[in-house]
Structure 1
Amino acid sequence: MRPFDYVRATDAEQAVAVVSADPRASFLAGGTTQLDLMKDGVLGPERLIDITRLPLGGITHTDSAIRVGALTTMEELAADPVVGERLPFVREALLLGASTQLRNMATIGGNLLQRARCRYFRDPTVAACNKRNPGSGCAAITGIQRMHAILGTSDHCIALHASDVAVPLVALDAVVHVRGANGTRSIPLTQFYLPPGDTPHIENVLQHGELITALEIPLLPETARSHYLKVRDRVSYEFALVSAGVALVIEDGVVQEARVALGGVGTVPWRCWDAEGVLRGARAGADVFRTAAEAALEGARPLPGTAFKVELAKRTLVRTLETVAGAAS
């Protein structure tokens, strides 16, 4: 690991000012991924600003939403009774996203910002990685592709966004609140992430020095049912090959409201707008669920190593829809 300066922030304004003024400075929260990448030589900040003592934790509730401080841990959010009652697929994604030890360290803000799980990005001995070295190429496109994306890819990058909880959060239209040198702003999570295009090194809309302070999560209607299904190679501590987050409101067998997102297949947490359009107003059943799954995977660009994900994603989504519809009946 390269040497770095360490600063413990005393307030959010100071933290933002220090990082904004120094292009080689970064925030440090739980550090569960960041420190690994520093040890591997992938990241090399010259100054770390520790924000863990700032008052950016806690969960507050209203009738329509919950507000989650950015330093709230995954475990704290999963244990919140309102999340368990009104947002069960968020709780499921949190519990499936990491071991208990990691959930007690990893923060919600950090989870949203976790870096790609691409083996080539995480190996600095591989020269061709447009995320690490813009313009150098993408080793994954001609390499081992099994854990890579099929939606939102480009000729410059096929790296996967690996967050579990971001999947239901995108489906819920969660909003990220940030603070920067020029003030505060609120960003819908569906607009927060950027597909790689020809700039894979730019992963989200945050400006350098902007700090996530909170996440606002709308609550599902009391009549909604939801589920998060994660398909992976092994049960213990593994990233998703494919995952699906679904919430439905069904009345008299007809889908009145649908929220659908996929993980394990997109360069960003993938909101399935077309699948939601298929489902709304349709009678819940196997045929419409398969049609929705087909719509969700429209435009997929698999490579030989990821071709299996197209059908696996469709089947995962159908199974999740069937599970939610069964719970709602």
Structure 2
Amino acid sequence: MTGNSTYHYISSFFLVGIPGLQDFHCWIGIPVCLLFVLTLLGNSVITVTIKLEPSLHQPMHFFLCMLAMNDMALAFSTAPKMLGIFWFEAHMFDFNICLAQMYFIHTFCIIESALLVAMAFDRYVAICIPLHYTTILTTPMVIKMGLGSVTRATLMVLPCPLLIKRLPYYTRNVINHAYCEHMAVVKLASANTHINRAYGISVAISVMVLDLVFIAASYVRILQAVFRLSSQNARSKALGTCAAHVCTMLVFYTPALFSFLTHRIGKKVPPSVHIIFASMYLLVPPTANPLVYGVKTKQIRDRVIGLFFPNKSISEKRSM
């Protein structure tokens, strides 16, 4: 054996899927496939609807369009390989492709979190300083915020695969997971992984804490502004514009927090439970987001109904 730590003695990983539930993989693949199809369909409809409807060409809907495209990218980086494992016994994963999947999954997750922060800021400006909304959230500013989200995620996650590449992998290549997750890959290394673990934890904590602090600060100011309104109807309307965003945050951050905590301090949590929640964290939010915004946002709901049921849309307009 050579002492060169950059040389890898294994060329691929074996992804187990969900340990303990291998006999049910065929059935587990059905909801995964359904979520994947609904994600692509729902987010495509949202993107096309926003593009075709001039009245939706507003900052909030531009952020929603970015979120929809990011959700589709996240689904593509996760679901096809899961379905390969569950339905076709395609457990082997090339070392470099595994690192690429890990990179894209974590990058898209951080972009998602950043977009939720941007959408919270949008709601803050719209409710707290509405007279300056058009001057603050201009199209160039929205583009810069979107590019900033992508740049932050790209740079923060990039060291993870680079640090893993320097580790030797001699014998262990079985990943007890349904996809290439950072810590699951790091644990298999035949060397000291303190740097990898410390960096991974610092990225996860900094992203989650900072983003949640910014979102919480926005909503504290929003609630203060809303409860200063004298009209009950005005308060309800203002809070209604935030309902979809709040639902999206709960769907995204709840399984993310559970997955993060169980992976590091939940020693008694069965591996199958952890992996199911970790998979839900990647598959459920992209499916739920278009449904939430389609139901909660009247402009989008009306436009979607008009696209698929034009006769119904015309009759509703005439009855108004």
Same fold (TM over 0.5): no
Larger radius of gyration: 2
Going by fraction, where is strand more abundant, 1 or 2? Answer: 1
TM-score (normalised: structure 1): 0.27
- Larger RCO (CA within 8 A; separation ≥ 6): 2
State the TM-score, normalized to the length of structure 2: 0.27
